[in-house]
Chains A and B, each alone.
Chain A
Amino acid sequence: MLDNIQKQLLKEVVDLYKMPKGAYNIRANGEKAARNTTENIDIVTKEDKPGIDIIIKDGTKNESVHIPVVLSESGLKETVYNDFYIGEDCDVVIVAGCGISNCGTHDSEHDGVHRFFVGKNSKIRYVEKHYGEGDGSGKRILNPVTEVYQKENSYVDMEMVQIKGVDSTHRITKAELGEGATMIVHERLMTHGEQKATSVYEVELNGEGSSTDVISRSVAKDSSEQIFEAAIIGNTVCNGHAECDAIIMDNAHVVAVPKLDARNVDAALIHEAAIGKIAGEQLIKLMSLGLTEKEAEEQIIGGFLR
């Protein structure tokens, strides 16, 4: 059974108020708290290491899998390996996410290693939210590793969100795309206090006509630090676009390192990076509508991270 803190964390990371429909696996404080499988989606506990295999049958459509993790015990550190085997011609939504509540003095850490094997013509929407809370001196640490292997004409849309409360993150996302495959990434990040967040993407466009769009929008407040690295490697006729757009505030530090690596004359790769403070004209416009400066700032950040 989940306690109230864990239920609150679930609400924050996967918008769940009660058990979801469809397949799910809820992990709380390092143990399985609940699981449901369906006719098309099986979830199996790994035997050699912590984690699960999620197996989705060919032709599974309009189904979802929720695999949230919550940590409410101070000092808990875990690395979990989750593998997704997605068949051909699927259309599914996968919702992951981790919430940590640390009121103690020890660091809590969850490192999720997710691997996606996406079959031909399948479409996946993957949403991963990170959330931290608790007033203890122990840090809340999340280091996710995501690997994506896409077969022909598959489509992966990833949404990675970390808005509050995580002290340290080092995110690594790697993808290899086959012929006609598409990968879209939307990352939204807000750091404050002394938080540090690093996000590294490496997308290899191997198949003809493959494409990717990696978009990061972030806000760095107080003395926080963000590092964004996006590398796109074009090995064939392909399209790649990476964009990092950051608002810097207070004494924050933001680094954007785009890297394009074209190994074929028909690889079309673009990167854009912009870092800057909130434009004065934006504040003035919203203040002229009757908002205070603080309200205007909140609206601008809220819209930017939407």
Chain B
Amino acid sequence: MLELKDLTYQVEENNETLTIIDHLDLTIDDGKFIVITGPNGGGKSTLAKLIMGVKELTSGQMIFDGEDITECSITDRARKGISFAFQQPVHFKGIKVLDLLRLATGENISVAAACEYLSKVGLCAKEYIDREVNSSLSGGELKRIEIATVLARGTKFSIFDEPEAGIDIWSFQNLIQVFENIRKTVKGTVLIISHQERILNIADEIIVIEDGKVKKHGPKDEILPELLGTADAVNRACSKMS
């Protein structure tokens, strides 16, 4: 279980203090498939990075499985069982896909084992295993490799930060299938930041973050109709205007 207590994250910009996350409280139960959504700039990605330790809290407390991890480094959090798929995957000159998957598992896994993870994200393993994780790969390919590194870790808490961002529509169709599979097979907690209805649709719970606060949090069946209702309302209003 992950408990976030009174989290605040502020940044200084032009001598002004901006509050990105504002006294946020949230409890995430084990084994759930949770999608965080909300308007751009609402603090979703920042919250994910705070959980991984990529950004440091201004104040508040984080408890993971009963242990206070507020002061833990990224490495410590990773070792305690938190994984993170970045919104913009990083390039590495000279590091191959196989190397990255081996680092992710922490073992010298066989090529066949590494290929399994690539297959899970819809990549033809043979073609990729020896490729360098560099700019010769497309955005969609990098994204899937990024997701594969998180699957390879197999930790009890996995975060995916906007997996759909920056990929083309064809790759997106495949990506939805990848997450539908993850939904069926992964045992730990999965936290996805997404705006996509099809991803929201496979969630157990949906959390809406707005202005650095939890605006809504509940079962998908309860929250999703409200969100779609809002969108419908907007669409209707727009159609009247035109």
In the complex, chain A residues whose CB is within 8 Å of the CB of B92? 282, 300, 303
Q: Which of A272-306 contact B (CB under 8 A)?
A: 279, 281-282, 284-293, 299-300, 302-306
A281 to B84, CA, bound (A): 13
Q: Is A245 part of the contact surface with B, judged by Cβ < 8 Å?
A: yes
Residues of B within 8 A of A289 (CB): 78, 83, 100, 103-104, 106, 149, 153
A304–B94 touching, CB < 8 Å: yes
> With A and B bound together, what is the CA distance between A304 and B95 in angstroms?
7
Q: Which residues of A contact B95 (CB under 8 A)?
A: 299-300, 303
B130 to chain A, nearest CB (A): 12
Confirm or deny: B54 has a beta carbon within 8 angstroms of a beta carbon on chain A: yes
Task: With A286-B103, A303-B99 as known contacts, state yes or no: A291 contacts B75, CB within 8 Å.
Answer: yes
Selected contact of B90 from candidates A281, A291, A303, CB within 8 Å: A281
Max count, chain B CB within 10 A of own CB: residue among A286, A287, A288, A291: A288
Residues on the B chain within 8 Å of A245, using CB: 93
Q: Which residue of B lies closest to A293 (CB)?
A: B75
CB-CB under 8 A from B104, the residues of chain A are 289
What is the CB-to-nearest-CB distance from A189 to chain B, in angstroms, rounded to a whole number? 14
Q: Is the CB of A290 within 8 A of B79?
A: yes
The answer to whether A292 and B93 have CB atoms under 8 Å apart is no
Knowing A287-B73, A287-B74 touch, does A282 contact B99 (C-beta < 8 A)? Answer: no
Q: Contacts A279-B90, A300-B95, A305-B94 given; indicate if A284 touches B75 (C-beta within 8 A).
A: no
Q: Does B21 contact A (CB under 8 A)?
A: no
Bound-complex Cα distance A121 to B74 (A): 55
Residue numbers in A under 8 Å from B103 (CB-CB): 286, 289, 291, 299
Complexed CA–CA distance, A279 and B106 (Å): 22
Give residues 35-90 of B contacting A (CB, 8 Å). Answer: 52, 54, 73-75, 78-79, 83-84, 86, 88-90
Contact status A282-B90, CB under 8 Å? yes
CB closest chain-B residue, reference A292: B75
Using C-beta atoms within 8 Å of the partner chain, give the interface range for chain B.
20 to 34
Q: How far is it, in angstroms, between the C-alpha of A285 and the C-alpha of B153 when the chains are bound?
A: 13
Per the bound structure, the CA–CA distance linking A292 and B78 in Å amounts to 10
Contact at A288–B94, with CB atoms within 8 Å? no
Least CB separation from B85: chain A residue: A288
Contact A285 B75 (CB under 8 A): no
The answer for the CA separation of A112 and B79 in the assembled complex, in Å, is: 50
- Cα A217 to Cα B104 in complex, Å, equals 26
B99: A residues at CB distance < 8 A = 299, 303
User: 8 Å CB contacts to B: which residues of A196-227?
Assistant: 217
List the B residue with the shortest CB-CB distance to A285.
B90
A288 to B77, CA, bound (A): 8
B94 to chain A, nearest CB (A): 3
Min distance, Cβ B55 to any Cβ of chain A, angstroms: 10
Given contacts A291-B75, A293-B75, A303-B92, A284 and B149 within 8 Å (CB-CB): no
Cβ of A303 and Cβ of B84 under 8 Å apart?
no
A245: nearest chain-B partner, CB-CB: B93
- Given the complex of chains A and B, what is the CA–CA distance between A303 and B99 in angstroms? 9
Q: Determine how close the nearest CB of chain B comes to the CB of A60; give it in whole angstroms.
A: 31
Looking at the assembled complex, report how far the CB atom of B92 sits from the nearest CB atom of chain A, in whole angstroms: 6
Chain B residues with CB below 8 A from A300, complex form? 92, 95
Cβ < 8 Å to A, chain B residues 83-134 = 83-84, 86, 88-90, 92-96, 99-100, 103-104, 106
CA distance A292 to B99 in the complex (A): 16
Enumerate chain B interface residues (CB-CB to A < 8 A).
52, 54, 73-75, 78-79, 83-84, 86, 88-90, 92-96, 99-100, 103-104, 106, 149, 153
7 smallest CB-CB distances across A and B, nearest first, come from: A303-B94, A303-B95, A287-B74, A290-B78, A306-B94, A281-B90, A285-B90
Show 21 residue pairs from A and B whose CB-CB distance is below 8 angstroms, ordered by the A residue. A217-B93, A217-B94, A284-B54, A284-B90, A285-B89, A286-B103, A287-B74, A288-B52, A288-B54, A288-B86, A289-B100, A289-B149, A290-B75, A290-B78, A291-B103, A292-B75, A300-B95, A302-B94, A303-B93, A303-B94, A304-B94
Known: A290-B75, A292-B75. 14 other contacts (CB 8 A): A245-B93, A281-B86, A284-B54, A285-B89, A287-B73, A288-B54, A289-B83, A289-B100, A291-B75, A299-B95, A300-B95, A303-B95, A303-B96, A306-B94
